[in-house]
Structure 1
Amino acid sequence: MTTPAVEVIGVSKSFRLPHQQTTTLKQHFLHPFSRTSYETQRALDDVSFAVERGEFFGIIGPNGSGKSTLLKILAGIYRPDRGAIRIEGLLSPFIELGVGFNMELNARDNVRVNGTLLGLSRRQLDDRFDDIIGFAELERFVDQRLKNFSSGMLLRLAYSIAIQVEFDILLLDEVLAVGDESFQAKCFRTFDAMREAGKTVVFVSHDLDSVERFCDRALLLRGGGIRAIGAPNDVIADYRERVATGSRT
């Protein structure tokens, strides 16, 4: 029995959020040392599942269901309050647009800096530089500062770098949603090559058609908990039924 590429065991995560309150000038002088009150919001509640090697695994759910929090825990950005994560293989997270970029540098320098941070050697960067810029379709903008790039241009550059890094497991968040349709189609074509190479992809998306098209299994998160897991068409049908009936669970 092979070890899963990703294993999530009883993971829970909460955040302390300050209460929003409007303080008038009079209240400030009457109570100068009053403290901000906080509430605890549970983002994930006892989440457990496994992703097999070479599997394309979709995670769906409404906004605020815990999808991005879960991916950030998998990427090591957040630590769970309880539970454990086991990752077998090299991980490439592509979950937040612009992370690792210096907006004051041009695209050429950002490719080299970002690629180095992701583990590419100088020789690998030299060999792959033209492919990165070409896939991103940014040849005419390679010497422009990133602060002048649109969100779509940043997406193209970030994804182009991410797929050139050596990885076994790719984490993808909703960032692909900001790209135009032609580039999305280009990204989806790389999925075929990843599948043939036996890569594992964990794919968070509101695009249910893409999840059904590309994923082997899917998981539905609502309220920080797993509500369904299995074949994508079954999980998506469950989700749509819950939305249609106004279910909060």
Structure 2
Amino acid sequence: MADERAIQVEDLGVRFRRGRRGGRSIKDIFGGSRRRARPGEFWALRHVSFTVRHGEAIGVVGRNGQGKSTLLKLVAGVMLPDEGIAEVHGGVAPLIEITGGFAGDLTVRENVRLIAGLHGMSKAEVARRFDDIIAFAEIADFVETPYKHLSSGMKVRLAFAVVSQLDEPIVLVDEVLAVGDRAFKAKCYRRIDELLAEGRTLFFVSHNEKDLRRFCTRGLYLDKGALKLDAPIGEVLDAYNADYNS
């Protein structure tokens, strides 16, 4: 049923130009996919279709350059497809390009209010959750410090702390657990476990097989921009390993 769908992807395709995203002219937009491809263009994803139900935990598998992060951006709505649709039924908490959107000259306090507000959190809710966000990020001594003066690790911790506090039903994660020290990773793992226990939907891109097996029950295997396999996560990882580790 429609109300069971968290994410609906149908015949999705996105085209790039070598070296940069292929910008489209007005003629391209209204001419559709039948317009002749320009030199140097290629399809990063094409003819990709799948459905994610609310509460599912999906892991996206594939080598670098196979379209995993592109797919996540299309689902997040930060990139538009050239073909097909990517419909999301519910709000999204995007843990992708995790430090994007933060303003360097604003303080940590100001950035928390800004980023949380941009994601729809009310001022009262930001105030209520502020101390928890700062405690999670472990930067209580830097609340009035300009964001640009934080270390890279502090920036990642702050971004994860803010976005993981959002109440959106769908969580998109792109390699965020690949950064940070062991203690912070353990804290992130516990937070993701909490989100899954709350019935959130997880769409998770990672190269870490252990993380994929821990969090996900189903996998999508992308290869050369196509969806090669949609199956239980163990089966997907076995197929991926057989293709590239033999």
TM-score for both structures, normalised by structure 2: 0.88
Distance 1:200 1:18 in 2: 33
The residue correspondences of 1:1-20 to structure 2 (distance < 5 A) are 1=1, 2-17=3-18
Which stretches of structure 1, 4 residues or longer, exceed 6 Å deviation after superposition?
Answer: none
Q: Could you tell me how far apart the structure 2 residues matched to 1:197 and 1:244 are?
A: 36
Tell me if the contact between 1:133 and 1:139 (Cα under 8 Å) persists in the aligned partners.
yes
Gaps of 5+ in 1: 20-36
Question: Once the two structures are superposed, what CA deviation does each residue of 1:48-93 show, in whole Å capped at 9, x if it has no partner?
Answer: 1111110111001111010111011011111111111121111111
C-alpha distance in structure 2 between counterparts of 1:18 and 1:219, whole Å: 26
**Partner SS for 1:140:** helix
Q: Which amino acid aligns with 1:4?
A: R
Q: What residue number does 2:113 align with?
A: 112
Q: What is the SS of the residue equivalent to 2:18?
A: strand
Output aligned runs, 1:164-175, within 5 Å: 164-175=165-176
Aligned residues: 228
In the TM superposition, residue 18 of structure 1 has moved relative to its aligned partner by 5.5
Counterpart of 2:85 in structure 1 is 84
What is the one-letter code of the residue matched to 2:95?
F
- Are 1:39 and 2:40 an aligned pair? yes
- Counterpart code for 1:234: E
* Partner of residue 161, structure 1: 162
What letter corresponds to residue 124 of structure 1 in structure 2?
E
Identity of aligned residues (%): 41
Residue in 1 aligned with 2:23? Answer: none
SS in structure 2 at match of 1:236: helix
**Aligned residue for 2:27?**
none
Name the structure 2 match of 1:148.
Answer: 149
SS at match of 1:105: coil
- Give the letter aligned to residue 210 of structure 1: D
Secondary structure at 2:103 match in 1: coil
Aligned position for 2:63: 62
Point out where structure 2 has 5 or more consecutive residues left out of the alignment.
Answer: 21-37
Larger Rg: 1
Match of 1:241 in 2: 242
Q: Is the 8 A contact 1:44 1:225 kept in 2?
A: yes
Counterpart CA distance in 1 for 2:7 and 2:244 is 29
Counterpart code for 2:234: N
Shift of 1:175: 2.5
Contact 2:113 2:126 in 1 (8 A): yes
Secondary structure of the structure 2 residue equivalent to 1:98 = coil
Conserved? CA contact 1:18–1:38, under 8 Å: no
**SS state of the match for residue 171, structure 1?**
strand
Q: Structure 1, residues 94-153: CA drift from partner, whole Å, max 9, x if none?
A: 111321100111211100111111111111111110000001111112222221222221
Q: CA deviation at 1:3?
A: 2.6
Q: Which amino acid aligns with 1:222?
A: D
1:5 match: secondary structure: strand
Contact 1:136 1:157 in 2 (8 A): yes
- Tell me, yes or no, if structure 1 residue 127 matches structure 2 residue 128: yes
Contact 2:98 2:160 in 1 (8 A): no
Partner of 1:95: 96
Q: Is the 8 A contact 2:229 2:236 kept in 1?
A: yes
1:205-224 maps to which residues of 2 (within 5 A)?
205-224=206-225
